[in-house]
Amino acid sequence: VVVSLECDRLNTFEIEDAGFEHKKICVEDFTPPTFDQIDEFVSFVEAKLSEAKKVLVHCYAGRGRTGTMLAAFLIHRGMSADAAIREIRERAGRAYGTTRGVIEPEQEETLHQFSRRARGS
């Protein structure tokens, strides 16, 4: 299963023609996702994992939007926002040789808001 956070640059037919299930959630580059987009992402990924499917998530560079959504998923699963951001940045560092993963202050703030919302505070 492939989740694309890219808005324009991807031909979804290529993914589907290759035999992959595909979900597109358009998040503009360098911006945080909305809560509706996060909820859609989390619900979709949970459903696919419950079917024992693997999920690949990407955006254009695979750093800001991808890292933000993956951190949101970790928060959904019970991790604190700070711990989720740190985890994604560490993994991005190993993958890219950089501390990317959640790159915009607005993305980080959205994750903290999502965490407070998820915890009911």
CA-based nearest residue to 69, from 30, 111, 29: 111
DSSP state of 30: T
DSSP state of 51: T
Q: Among 2, 27, 42, 59, which one carries the catalytic annotation?
A: 59
Longest CA pairwise span in the chain (Å): 44
Residue 26 appears among annotated catalytic residues: no
Rounded CA separation 14/35 (Å)? 29
- Catalytic site residues? 59
